[in-house]
Structure 1
Amino acid sequence: MALSALFAAAMWFLPDVLMIKTPGAWVVAIVLATLGGAFCIAGVLAFRQAKTTVNPVNPETSTALVVHGVFRLTRNPMYLGFTFLLLAFAVWLGKIPAMLLVPLFMAYLQRFQIRPEEDALNERFGASFDAYRHQVRRWL
């Protein structure tokens, strides 16, 4: 996702102020990155299995409401995965300002990507999406 790359670049280019460097930070970063990658891959595989679009730009072209697999834990596994990946990068960098960009990334996604997607899915799948929305949280 281009937005994730943009946020990662912003994290990289932030000045090295307010640093937290701990000996085990790389372990935490690896765990978070692994978790993030797993969420992303599981989400894509579930979409492929359901033979529906993975493209978030046109949610109205969805041919199936995917509610199995990782979608039983979160309605947005790929976005959650990218969030974990960004958090891993911020931890690895050790920059507190970089860590503060993660909630900004989430807020942007929520406002400009997730809500419009959910509106489109509600329009397309109606009561089925509404029931799913009430059973599974947006993030975790």
Structure 2
Amino acid sequence: MMHLLIPPVLWLILLVAMAVLGETAPVATVFGTPARLLGWAIIVAGLALQAVAAGQFVKARTNLHAFRDPDKLITTGVFAMSRNPMYLGFVLTLVGAALLLNTVFTLIGPLVFFAVANFWYIPREERIADDLFGEPYRAYRARVRRWL
């Protein structure tokens, strides 16, 4: 059952929940127009990061699915700056959406996604990568941070 909660599904659930909270939360708006403009910029940056990372997966002809074993270790491009650019992109889009939705309650979305990714998705993937790729993965992990 938990395999159904792949990162894009969790992201979509949180985005919908944030939109509902943004419309129904009994709280005055907390962010002004500059923050909303920043929200759009952060969303675009997050989507661009995800697109570039996904493009690298496609170019390398490797698996993109979070619950399948990776075929190849990608360490170049955006993966040279973050071991998890896809997850970072998801978090950025949720942060941007929280700024757009304009209530403090919507900040729960990116925090939940970060926590699930950081404490469940990523550790699982790191164990698998360590088992599959061994020393090359350990060297990569020592050189590149988990998030940024």
Please confirm whether the aligned pair reaches a TM-score higher than 0.5, indicating the same fold: yes
* Post-superposition offset of 1:18: 5.0
Is there any run of 5+ residues in structure 2 with no aligned partner, and where?
1-7
| Aligned residue in 2 for 1:135 | 143
CA distance in 1, matches of 2:29, 2:127: 40
| Aligned residue in 2 for 1:45 | 55
Letter aligned with residue 12 of structure 1: A
> What count of residue pairs does the alignment treat as equivalent?
138
| Aligned residue in 2 for 1:28 | 38
Is the aligned partner of 1:6 residue 2:16? no
Is there any run of 5+ residues in structure 1 with no aligned partner, and where?
none
Q: Which moved more, 1:117-126 or 1:106-115?
A: 106-115
The alpha-carbon distance between structure 1 residues 18 and 130, as it changes in their structure 2 partners (threshold 3 A), is: farther
CA distance in 2, matches of 1:69, 1:113: 22
Give yes or no for contact 1:18–1:97 (8 Å, CA) kept in 2.
no
TM-score, length-scaled by structure 1: 0.93
* Post-superposition offset of 1:100: 3.2
Moved over 4 A (4+): none
Is the aligned partner of 1:17 residue 2:27? yes
CA distance in 1, matches of 2:15, 2:78: 25
Please, which of 45, 64, 78 is the counterpart of residue 72 of structure 2? Answer: 64
Please, which of 65, 87, 97 is the counterpart of residue 95 of structure 2? Answer: 87
The alpha-carbon distance between structure 1 residues 136 and 34, as it changes in their structure 2 partners (threshold 3 A), is: same
User: What secondary structure does 2:83 align onto?
Assistant: coil
Letter aligned with residue 119 of structure 1: R
Give yes or no for contact 2:80–2:144 (8 Å, CA) kept in 1.
yes
CA distance in 2, matches of 1:11, 1:18: 15
Give the fraction of aligned pairs with identical amino acids, expressed as a percent. 30
